[in-house]
Chain A
Amino acid sequence: MKMKNKSEIKIKDAFDHGKAFIGFVTGGDPSIEKSEEYILKMVEAGCDLIEIGIPFSDPIAEGPVIQEANLRALLAGTTTDKLFELAARVREQTDVPLVFLTYLNPVFRYGYDAFCAKCEEAGVNGIIIPDMPFEEKGELLPFAKAHGVDVISLIAPTSEQRIKEIASEATGFIYVVSSMGVTGVRSEIKTDLGAILSAVKESAKVPAAVGFGVSTPEQAAKIAQVADGVIVGSAIVKLIAQHGEDAGQYVHDYVKGMKDAIR
């Protein structure tokens, strides 16, 4: 339900009522209209924050499921501009924080200032860019700040001594990558998440959520013991790949099951 003025909505809202469930869809897969429907279904099912993927031709951090979704969305004619319009429509219907996930090139080509201005206008609260590490965020950050858009930092199992500097400068929330490799469902997460999360907590001023490979309520419940939120992408995108135009109810029920597991 829509209650707030869009400028009052912040990413931290997602973490204000217990553990956050963060769901991802690739924008425009299978169509812009269906993405809008599925996003609203996720909100209805209890999703606390929505990540909308802006498709990129060469998503190097993604596994096969999201790679194929990117391709489907691009073939369907999805563009960055159409996703700004989608986000703006979603924002009119819900107060749930929204973030974009994309690669740096689409943002760079759009123009850092223009992109962040459009985010502000549409009511998008943050951006996740998997190929922009700590060292490279300087060129985007001033524009993001000027438009009130949080740049979300990622921390990986290999980050070790880097955790401190990354976490201390993080805004919005911290995206902790659960495993080595690319996105995609995993039967088991072997990383010592407890250790990483406690290192993150020492320096961070914002909440930390875990993503990559999470698909079952059991995994989510386990992660919620150490993290502030759970991020799920491929498992949702897989449902959309399977059910196409009729995925709404499946997405809803899946998200509800996951959210219930971490309550």
Chain B
Amino acid sequence: MSKGRYGVHGGQYIPETLMNEIIKLEESYEFYKKDPAFNRELEDLLKNYAGRPSLLYYAEKMTKDLGGAKIYIKREDLNHTGSHKINNVLGQALLAKKMGKTRIIAETGAGQHGVATATAAALLGLECEIFMGKEDTERQKLNVYRMELLGAKVHPVTTGTMTLKDAVNETMREWTKRVDDTLYVLGSVMGPHPFPMIVRDFQSVISREAREQILEYEGKLPAAVVACVGGGSNAMGMFYNFIQDKEVQLIGCEAAGKGIHTKQHAATIAKGTPGIFHGMKSYFCQDEYGQIAPVYSISAGLDYPGIGPEHAHLHDTGRAQYVPVTDDEAVEAFEYLARTEGIICAIESAHAVAHVRKIAPDMKKEDSIIICLSGRGDKDVAAIARYRGVDIHE
């Protein structure tokens, strides 16, 4: 079996054309992750450009309202570009530069990873092209314009379901055309090894900070940490430094769309089966012949038929639990957090908020729970308005 395994999951299932490039990427990453100069540069960018460390905010009103465990919110929405995606992108773009690449390409769903990638490219002087499903370019017009403002070229993807999965296909195809000067900056803990490892490592800053912060505020570890899961990068970042702390429950919230009893969902763990796709072995929503299923979620960022291989393994071993959260529940949580705490969060992150509303009341008052608020919700306001029947034009 090849490298990059998480139990049976992971691996490197990609065309031969990309193999040497993937091997080079792994070697470069292994070198630079131990290089003090690289790490100083990255830390400087995270601190002085992205605005880290992000706050661990005690949501007192929400805690009182729910009447159970103390609720803390890890504010990744306050990062530069408005989501956790910048953590990974700064790392990968810097790595691209060290590898002598002059061009980066990326897929994007909601547009958060695309915006972050375009931002890093502008800052570091790299050419940037983003692939985004045509349906998503329509759902997230503002982010398309943002990417263009930042100097990136956005390619609407018109194949397949015209969403995140197809954007990944197209970025992979583009990479096989041009590897010499180009790095694929993958946005989640998915794809062929070494991407799930690299993205996890760069995102693990979330739980590194959160663990120190909660110990400082509460003097003990949280009872649970909760994050939304599409491919799973903010969740992996939130879980990683708590995996060894067996008393901390790790909970990932999948997009159940219109409900897991319907066909319109993206709940990979709840409804998926083992498969091999996008370079990795993991769980996927698919039919009996292995055709990847069209998935659905109100959230473009969770609208993906697979999940990162390390999550698949955490599920297999029972170390983490994955729960489905519907569109309705997410929209209600989006509105609830705005009213209760004055925070407009991304509809993706609202899936995690929704689950915490369900479980916090039954938890002990002396316990705490951390929600990873992966992004801010400006991009979603118009869509939520439409969901509620209010016609707003951006």
Selected from B2, B172, B275, the residue in CB contact (under 8 A) with A135 is B2
- Provide the B139-175 mask, 1 if CB < 8 A to any CB of A, else 0: 0000000000000000000011000011001001100
Selected from A63, A106, A132, A156, the residue in CB contact (under 8 A) with B289 is A106
Residue of B nearest to A105 (CB): B290
Residue of A nearest to B2 (CB): A135
Tell me if A60 is interfacial: C-beta within 8 Å of chain B: yes
Contacts A60-B172, A136-B2 given; does A156 touch B290 at CB 8 Å = no
Nearest Cβ on chain A to B109's Cβ, whole angstroms: 15
Selected from A61, A133, A157, A158, the residue in CB contact (under 8 A) with B12 is A133
A3→B16 CA distance, assembly (Å): 37
Tell me if B19 is interfacial: C-beta within 8 Å of chain A: yes
The interface residues of chain A lying within 8 Å CB-to-CB of B48 are none
Kindly state the interface size class of chain B when it binds its partner: 35 or more
Nearest Cβ on chain B to A68's Cβ, whole angstroms: 9
The interface residues of chain A lying within 8 Å CB-to-CB of B38 are none
Contacts A104-B13, A156-B17 given; does A80 touch B289 at CB 8 Å = yes
The interface residues of chain B lying within 8 Å CB-to-CB of A56 are 290-291
Nearest Cβ on chain B to A262's Cβ, whole angstroms: 24
Tell me if B292 is interfacial: C-beta within 8 Å of chain A: yes
Q: Contact check, B276 vs A182: say whether CB atoms are below 8 A apart.
A: no
A256→B186 CA distance, assembly (Å): 44
Kindly state the interface size class of chain A when it binds its partner: 35 or more
A56→B159 CA distance, assembly (Å): 13
Q: Contact check, A181 vs B173: say whether CB atoms are below 8 A apart.
A: yes
Q: A152-190: which have CB < 8 Å to B?
A: 154-162, 166, 177, 180-182
Nearest Cβ on chain B to A172's Cβ, whole angstroms: 16
- Provide the B223-259 mask, 1 if CB < 8 A to any CB of A, else 0: 0000000000000000000000000000000000000
A134→B2 CA distance, assembly (Å): 9
Q: Contact check, A182 vs B286: say whether CB atoms are below 8 A apart.
A: no
Tell me if B179 is interfacial: C-beta within 8 Å of chain A: yes
Selected from A108, A133, A177, A180, the residue in CB contact (under 8 A) with B290 is A108
Q: Contact check, B14 vs A158: say whether CB atoms are below 8 A apart.
A: no
A241→B122 CA distance, assembly (Å): 42
The interface residues of chain A lying within 8 Å CB-to-CB of B275 are 105, 108-109
The interface residues of chain B lying within 8 Å CB-to-CB of A74 are 291
The interface residues of chain A lying within 8 Å CB-to-CB of B177 are 180-182
Q: Contact check, B17 vs A60: say whether CB atoms are below 8 A apart.
A: no
The interface residues of chain B lying within 8 Å CB-to-CB of A217 are none
A41→B136 CA distance, assembly (Å): 43
Selected from B19, B172, B289, the residue in CB contact (under 8 A) with A133 is B19
Q: Contact check, B286 vs A105: say whether CB atoms are below 8 A apart.
A: yes
What would be 20 A-B contacts, judged by CB atoms less than 8 Å apart?
A61-B176, A64-B159, A74-B291, A105-B275, A106-B290, A110-B289, A130-B16, A131-B14, A131-B279, A135-B3, A136-B13, A138-B1, A154-B16, A159-B20, A162-B16, A162-B19, A180-B17, A180-B178, A181-B17, A181-B176
Give the 5 A-B CB pairs with smallest separation, nearest first.
A109-B290, A181-B177, A135-B2, A156-B17, A105-B290
